[in-house]
Structure 1
Amino acid sequence: CPAGTQSGDRIAYTTGSGGDAGDTQITYLEEGRCYAPSTDPSDAPGQDTTGTYPASYWRPGGNRPIVGFRLNPLYGPIPQMALSFERPHTTVTESDQWDDQCPALESEGRCAITGAARCVGGPATKVIDGASVTRACWRYETSLSCQYGAPTDECAPLAAAGCTPNSTVCRQMNPATGTCEVAENTYNCPVAASSAVTARNCPTDVFCIAGSCFNTTYTNDADFARSMSFLEAGREAGVYLDTDNLQVFKGEANRCRDRLLKNCCTSDSAGRGMSNQSMFGVGSRLVFDVLMNSGNREFLYHGMQALLMSGGFSGSFTTYGVTVAINGTALPAGSAVLYAGESVVVAFDPWSLVIAIVIYVVMSAISCDEEEGKLAMKEGARLCHTVGTYCSSCIRVLGKCVSCITHTTTKCCFNSVLARIINEQGRLQVAKWWGTAEGPDCSGFTIAQLQSLDFARMDLTEFYASIVPNMPDVGAMQGGAAGRASNCYYGKGRCQ
């Protein structure tokens, strides 16, 4: 309360009949008001329990704001706890992992160390993931002496076998010095009259073409498939960027039904043959825009734009109801324009697509609808991720489902295997869920989420197979080359 006033809960007065019965009660003025001392008996009576003011009467001096709280004596002491707050901070743990490529060169036996390792980078401080890291040396260099161009003599076994030189032809000339670097020597070798000898002196680890020979013993580059995957991911993210929502690698929700007499949740391998390259003759064989929802303009437009705008294409073509007209070419009757630019128009004829799909569906699954037929082809192309299954139709008794007769499975499908793999493994990193079976979430990644993805933690083995389905059989190639050389050096001394 203001100076010169007292709180009502500190001004007490006695009420009651008094006498021997002692029927009295101490009462306080209003707790929520402040009172000023008074000498007028018409004001409220009372004594200041704190002894601050000696007055016996009090007049109201205004309301008192109530702050804080008052202990309840019925429950005793109130327990207390101490709270502490630690400001957000980042703890950096440093560990070094050196990438030493020198032992690999030494192990092949063609290089030898000629000097001690010397530092060629440092001391320096570098910022790694936002943290400053200081090292006395960041890179060491070791000098090696490698025998790349050591001369080899493949004719020595022939001379040792008693063969005599016949002729010499230079197969490779050094243009700078004019000296012969690779010479082909022809030998005549003695053969017993009563025997036929077939010999070959072609090393299995050397491949020669047009007079140039290459060592095939080196292992394949293990990073090739990963590098190609990263390049394709960047290309697809740039082509199919949703500029309205700023999302990449988005999909679309599809569903299929499993009924009592027919299961429409199947996989059709025909979908593997419906890539952009297969359908249009050009474009990527890793992307399947034609299998995506025909009403989704973004997949059709972005895919066609990347396919045609920079290729000098002129004219028009139609496939599965989608018509692309370049440089003012007329559109088929009944087509609806999906996009019209300065030099390209993308139109869609729903009836053509329906007829094409229905013909296929009727031939393969009579009781399944168009969407389920397309979903089967998407599954065949490995473009879909199953979100969940729920009961969409059941037999009810008294309003309660007693037997489910139709199960519906929802899936998120994408226009490439890589987009599906990035969603399956990238969503785990950014805590992005797939939604529910009744309401799947097939949206893509925001730009911030994409930048936070660690592609090095993703298993892209399945996509590697789509880049190079069948790796070349090096053994078969070498065997075939060796088989064609049935007579090496013996006889006329030439490999046939």
Structure 2
Amino acid sequence: TFDHETCLDDPPSGDGSCKVAERVYKCPIPGSTTQPAQYICGDDVYCVNGDCEPIVREPSDEFKDAVVALNALGQANSEFDESTLTLFKGTAESCAHKVFGLANCCSGKGVPLLVPLLCSPSEVLLDQKDDAGLCHKIGTYCSSSFLGICLSNRDVYCCFQSKISRILQEQGRPQIGKTWGTPKKPVCDGFTIFEFQQLDLSVMDFTEIYSEFVDAAKLPDEAAALIEIQAKIEAYYAAHKP
């Protein structure tokens, strides 16, 4: 039975309220004259039979992972290719750099083109995409040679619509044994629905884009995205019925 209550606030609040209180109950035990006190404490303190321990709350980074996962789902919805039923499809792009000469249209990420006027519009655009973190470099091959001497090389990339698409492709392909092909025959295909279902996003490193998503707090509706993807799949099969 309840015996009494004592406020443990230090210092006491001026309005008479109490945040942490000690409640003492009398619990008769057969054959015993002593009645042990029981305690119920508030906030981050847990007490049993008079022994109190603080509750230590560990910081969690699961929120960032959840935000990225939701954004991955939202991006999957926007990048779903109805014609091939694939997700996060890329495009093969390349740029040339002369072995002897100033015309280098493959400056690399973060490095400006030295002579952009000597590069094609597609090469200038590729440089911009690479700087934005949208491209994955597959490799280099010799595109022009004379008497066994390479005169011009081409760097080949797979470029995607977003950073998260590139990261999912870079870290997802090894999980399912999907290769990038070769520089002369690049494979920039998207994931099939079955392949995407096999990916383990929890082991992927999204550090590169954490701040972008967490700061913006762009949280798509998971259910709505799934429904829209399903509707696109059904529409595809309905349109291609024999």
Which residue among 136, 143, 165 is the counterpart of 1:385? 136
Which residue among 80, 99, 118 is the counterpart of 1:241? 80
Superposition deviation, residue 436 in structure 1: 1.2
Q: Deviations over 1:141-176 (max 9, x none)?
A: xxxxxxxx9523289xxxxxxxxxxxx7x5xxxxxx
Correspondence for 1:211: none
TM-score by length of 1: 0.32
Partner Cα separation in structure 2 for residue 426 and residue 268 of structure 1: 22
Matches within 5 A, 1:23-422: 151-153=9-11, 180=17, 220-259=59-98, 260=100, 261-267=102-108, 365-396=116-147, 401=148, 403-422=149-168
Conserved 8 A contact 1:265-1:409: yes
The alignment status of 1:435 with 2:186, answered yes or no, reads no
Partner Cα separation in structure 2 for residue 459 and residue 372 of structure 1: 29
Q: Describe the SS at the equivalent of 2:117.
A: coil
Conserved 8 A contact 1:270-1:377: no
Partner Cα separation in structure 2 for residue 152 and residue 379 of structure 1: 59
Partner Cα separation in structure 2 for residue 364 and residue 443 of structure 1: 32
Q: Describe the SS at the equivalent of 2:181.
A: coil
Q: Describe the SS at the equivalent of 1:366.
A: helix
Q: Describe the SS at the equivalent of 1:387.
A: strand
Superposition deviation, residue 457 in structure 1: 2.4
Conserved 8 A contact 1:262-1:367: yes
Superposition deviation, residue 450 in structure 1: 0.7
Unaligned runs of 5+ in 1: 1-148, 156-167, 171-178, 183-216, 272-360, 470-496
Superposition deviation, residue 221 in structure 1: 2.5
Partner Cα separation in structure 1 for residue 85 and residue 66 of structure 2: 25
Partner Cα separation in structure 1 for residue 213 and residue 115 of structure 2: 29
Q: Describe the SS at the equivalent of 2:118.
A: coil
Q: Deviations over 1:291-339 (max 9, x none)?
A: xxxxxxxxxxxxxxxxxxxxxxxxxxxxxxxxxxxxxxxxxxxxxxxxx
Conserved 8 A contact 2:76-2:88: yes
Correspondence for 1:424: 170
Q: Deviations over 1:380-400 (max 9, x none)?
A: 11111111110001123xxxx
Whichever structure has more helix as a proportion of its residues is 2
Partner Cα separation in structure 2 for residue 268 and residue 364 of structure 1: 16
Partner Cα separation in structure 2 for residue 220 and residue 256 of structure 1: 46
Partner Cα separation in structure 1 for residue 8 and residue 162 of structure 2: 49
Q: 1:255 is matched by which residue type in structure 2?
A: S
Conserved 8 A contact 2:104-2:115: no
Whichever structure has more strand as a proportion of its residues is 1
Superposition deviation, residue 467 in structure 1: 3.0
Superposition deviation, residue 244 in structure 1: 1.2
Partner Cα separation in structure 2 for residue 221 and residue 240 of structure 1: 30
Q: 1:456 is matched by which residue type in structure 2?
A: S
Q: 1:257 is matched by which residue type in structure 2?
A: A
Superposition deviation, residue 230 in structure 1: 0.6
Conserved 8 A contact 1:267-1:376: yes
Partner Cα separation in structure 1 for residue 76 and residue 156 of structure 2: 25
Percent identity (aligned): 35
Partner Cα separation in structure 1 for residue 61 and residue 8 of structure 2: 28
Conserved 8 A contact 2:139-2:183: yes
Conserved 8 A contact 1:391-1:408: yes
Partner Cα separation in structure 1 for residue 163 and residue 73 of structure 2: 14
Q: 1:229 is matched by which residue type in structure 2?
A: V
Q: 2:11 is matched by which residue type in structure 1?
A: D
Partner Cα separation in structure 1 for residue 122 and residue 158 of structure 2: 13
Superposition deviation, residue 367 in structure 1: 1.1
Partner Cα separation in structure 2 for residue 448 and residue 390 of structure 1: 33
TM-score by length of 2: 0.62
Structure of higher RCO (CA pairs closer than 8 Å, 6+ residues apart): 2
Q: Describe the SS at the equivalent of 1:264.
A: coil
Partner Cα separation in structure 2 for residue 219 and residue 269 of structure 1: 38
Unaligned runs of 5+ in 2: 1-6, 20-55, 216-242
Q: Considering only aligned residues, what root-mean-square deviation do their CA atoms show, in Å?
A: 2.9
Alignment: residue pair count: 171
Correspondence for 2:191: 445
Alpha carbons of 1:426 and 1:268: their partners in 2 closer, same or farther (altered >3 Å)? closer
Alpha carbons of 1:180 and 1:430: their partners in 2 closer, same or farther (altered >3 Å)? same
Correspondence for 2:34: none
Q: Describe the SS at the equivalent of 1:443.
A: coil
Partner Cα separation in structure 2 for residue 154 and residue 381 of structure 1: 57
